[in-house]
Amino acid sequence: MYPADVQPCPQAAVWGFDPRSYQRHSLHSSDRNFVESNCYIDIWIEVVHALNLEVYPFLAFTLASDFEDDQWTFYKPSFDDLNYLYGFNVQEMYLWGALHQQILTQLQKGKIVLLEADSFFLPDTQETDYRKNHVKTTIAIESIDIEKQTLGYFHNAGYYHLFEEDFRGIFHLDKPKIDGYLPPYCELVRLDRINRHSSEELLTRSRLLLRRYIGLKPAQNPILRFKESFHHHTLPLLIEQGLEAYHQYAFGSLRQMGSCYEFTAYYLRALEAADHTLDVENIAKRFDTISQVAKALILKGARMVNRKTAKDLSPDFDEMARCWDEAMTELSDRFA
């Protein structure tokens, strides 16, 4: 209990950003093939950026992504990598009380909170899910005001605020907790041991991660396996199910593959910018090609599903597979 003349502060902000002036990282610039990749890596790019840390060193993990039989790897940075490079400490948040109150407590202690949220209540998804679809996504909460019912959060390509009805919706405040209610998954991110290594030290550490992830690359060309699955199983099913099912599938497959290797290209160029002796531009270009072809394939696939007419996309998949083989072979020869 608090004394009558002392009341707890109902608000907290780790940095106190304003969405109108927030400058997102260049990896979320409009000239990318995929401005938004997946919710988890996108928020980490902005969180690392918000701390004025170098973003590119943690992207080595993209080399280990694979085709997972009916999807591409939903690629996420490793907590071990984030700790090794920057000092982040990520822990699961145990939910025992009112979620918004628990988040307030964590933010007041200088931590941010990663929350599995419903895109239905996220205004930044205006063009896709806002007030239309209930879709699970992850946001990084940076500020909260319980009295004014406002929330500041990172999501996808930037930083945003939500208010009042959306605030109540995110936290289920307008609905009683019925039997069987499943609380969302939350993680708290401690920022009290952030390491600001020199660029030289970050380069050294990132190259060690590069060698590790080259060793974890798929044993077989994943794009060839993707091609076989797409043509022989998935495409006929999607033509039958329609465009809505196709767009869901494309997000988890072609978009994840294309955006992942686009990040790989950016990562390799950042290494070369820090150490001009590396000369990895030709490798980066091969990953760029994979990303560009994957983006074109999303549109080609949509047209086929819409017209209910299957076409052989083998030349596109074969081009991406060739680029993958050449890039991975050269990386292994030079860095493994």
Indicate if the pLDDT at residue 6 is higher than 50: no
d(CA 173, CA 163): 13
Residue extents of the structural domains in the chain: 11-190, 199-335
d(CA 50, CA 335): 31
Mean pLDDT of the chain: 94
Which of 265, 332, 331, 333 has its CA nearest to residue 294? Answer: 265
Amino acid at 223: I
Determine the pLDDT at residue 336.
74
Which has the closest alpha carbon to 85: 214, 198, 222, 234?
A: 198
Most confident range, picked from 7-16, 26-35, 317-326: 317-326
Q: Does residue 17 sit in helix, strand or coil?
A: coil
Q: Are 171 and 162 in contact (CB under 8 A)?
A: no
In whole angstroms, give the CA distance from residue 234 to residue 228. 9
pLDDT, tens only, 171-193: 988 876 666 677 899 999 999 99
pLDDT greater than 90 at residue 107: yes
From the list 61, 78, 41, 62, the residue with the least C-alpha distance to 287 is: 62
pLDDT at 16: 94
147, 111 Cβ separation under 8 angstroms: no
- The SS3 call for residue 198 is coil
Q: What is residue 141's predicted lDDT score, i.e. its pLDDT? A: 98
Please check the confidence at residue 60 and state whether its pLDDT lies above 70: yes
> How many angstroms separate the Cα of 61 from the Cα of each of 74, 76, 193, 264, 324?
12, 8, 23, 9, 15
Q: Quickly list DSSP for 207-271.
A: HHHHHHHHHTS-SS-HHHHHHHHIIIIIHHHHHHH-HHHHHHHHIIIIIHHHHHHHHHHHHHHHH
In this predicted model, what pLDDT tens digit does every residue of 207-248 receive, in sequence order?
A: 999 999 999 999 999 999 999 999 988 999 999 999 999 999
The pLDDT value given to residue 175? 74
Categorise residue 116: left if φ over 0, alpha if ψ from -120 to 50, beta otherwise.
beta
Q: Residue 237 corresponds to which tokens in the numbers above?
A: 């099913």
Q: How far apart are CA 76 and CA 101, in angstroms?
A: 28
pTM: 0.93
- pLDDT at res. 180: 63
Q: How confident is the model at residue 1 (pLDDT cuts 50, 70, 90)?
A: very low
Position 4 confidence tier, pLDDT thresholds 50, 70, 90: very low
Amino acid in position 2: Y
What phi, psi does 186 have (nearest 5°)? -130, 150
Query: Do residues 111 and 105 lie in contact, with contact meaning Cβ atoms separated by under 8 Å?
Result: no
- Provide the total of helices (H) and of strands (E) in the chain, helices listed first: 11, 7
- Is 123 buried (19+), middle (13-18) or exposed (0-12) by CB count in 10 A? middle
Q: Is it the case that residue 24 has pLDDT exceeding 70? A: yes
Q: Retrieve residue 101's tokens.
A: 């109150």
